[in-house]
Amino acid sequence: MNKVFIFFALWLGLSASLQAQHYFFLEADRQQPFYIRWNGQLLSSSANGFLLVSKVETDKILLTIGFPRNQFPEINFDLRGMDRDRGFQLKDFGEKGWGLFDRTSLEVIMPINQSPATIVAAAKPGDNNFASVLADVTGDSTLLEKKALAKVPMQAPVPVAVQPPAQPKKEIVQVPDSLVTLKKEKKPIISSMVLQDSEEKKLMGYVVTGDGSLPDTIKVEIIKPLIASKPVQAESVKLPVCDRPFADIKDIRALQKKILGLNAIGDQVAAVVKAFKEKCFNSRQAMDLGWMFTDEAARLRLFESLFGLVSDPEQYKKLETAFMKEDNIKAFRKLWSKN
């Protein structure tokens, strides 16, 4: 009986520990690349300005966000309530600087080194700035057209000494029904990013979050119609040759979820290498998996391990765009000099 009790207690502790882990993601406007400093780590976003941080075990995060080549000064954020899955949009508010739009609470959070409170907390519902912020974040220009009702002037005092003068009416900001529904129903959040855009096709990536489960990724390939007036140049195309089955989107999604379930970088890299030896993956699919490694050093380790395992080795050099640090770029280029 004691052994059963001990096992049950350990199981409860393990379940509580797993449930305590959450994630948050940041998506920047205009696909602006950035990096974050948090918990002694330096994590860089994708080239399209997207970053997913998993295994978060605290409800308070002091986060520093910076930009490559010091395009903008570093900014600090004090994020609370991080004991659940969160999603933020990193937005440029012009003279006010960069801020975070919370996709769950619909608040705009400004850096603590610029403003000690959020714009929404500082702007009362009757303030026109509140409507301007919501219109800028949501892209709904009707918020500006539906301006607040004009303030009612103070009425003349009633000739009764004990009766206070009438209070002015507060302005009303009409929030779109879509925002109210989103906040109440907590529907899944779908974020999009452009992974590839060429004359022939456009590859879009979508991240589904907010339903309490691990983030799910979907990729859609859009084939662009050929323009008849443009001459088509004949070129030789090397078809991938492989003695193993070719991997598809289901294999990628299953492998991404498996990576999120492993703690050690070595175990994550080993799981990807094993999958590449069992099925044929191309360089583009290797890049998709590389974004799951938020640290550039870990991403470099993955690409070094996958070198020679893709079905289109001539395209593997294009993975260099996954790095922003000069040392990592040089290390990646050394792969060709060694082989």
pLDDT band at 114 (very low <50, low <70, confident <90, very high): low
In a domain, 283, yes or no: yes
220: region left, alpha or beta (phi > 0 left; psi from -120 to 50 alpha): beta
Which pLDDT score, from 0 to 100, does residue 255 have? 92
Answer yes or no: do 30 and 179 share one domain.
yes
**Do residues 154 and 301 both lie within one domain?**
no
313 and 166 belong to one structural domain: no
Residue 278, in any domain of the structure:
yes
Domain total for the chain? 2
Q: Does 96 map to a domain?
A: yes
Whether residue 240 sits in one domain with residue 157: no
Low-confidence winner among 109-118, 229-238, 265-274, 304-313 (lowest mean pLDDT) = 229-238
Domain boundary among 159, 185, 211: 185
pLDDT of 93 strictly over 80: yes
One domain, residues 242 and 169: no
Query: Is the predicted pLDDT of residue 46 greater than 70, yes or no?
Result: yes
49 and 180 housed in the same domain? yes
- What's the CA gap between 70 and 60, in Å, rounded? 27
Distance CA 273, CA 204 (A): 25
Question: What is the C-alpha to C-alpha distance for residues 10 and 15, in angstroms, rounded to an integer?
Answer: 9
Residue 29 and residue 177 in one domain? yes
Q: Which domain holds residue 305?
A: 236-339
Model confidence at 150: pLDDT above 50 = no
* Residue after which a domain boundary falls, among 185, 215, 249: 185
Mean pLDDT within 104-117: 74
Assign residue 308 the CATH number of its domain.
1.25.40
Residue 106, pLDDT score: 82
Q: Kind of pairing, strands 60-66 and 35-38?
A: antiparallel
**276 and 160 assigned to the same domain:** no
> What does the pLDDT average to over 125-137?
52
Output the pLDDT for position 242: 80
Tell me how far apart the alpha carbons of residues 319 and 288 are, in angstroms, rounded to a whole number: 10
Q: What is the pLDDT of residues 211-268, one digit of tens each?
A: 555 566 677 777 766 444 445 454 554 555 688 899 999 999 999 999 988 989 999 9
Domain boundary residue, one of 145, 161, 185:
185
Q: Is residue 162 situated within a structural domain?
A: yes
Give one DSSP letter per residue of 30-62, joined into a string.
GG---EEEETTEEEE--TTSEEEEEEE--SEEE
In a domain, 194, yes or no: no
Instruction: Give the pTM.
Output: 0.38
* DSSP letters spanning 72-117: S--EEEEEE--SS-EEEEEEE-GGG-EEEEETTT--EE--TTT-SS
Together in a domain, 281 and 134: no
> Do 240 and 332 sit in the same domain of this protein?
yes
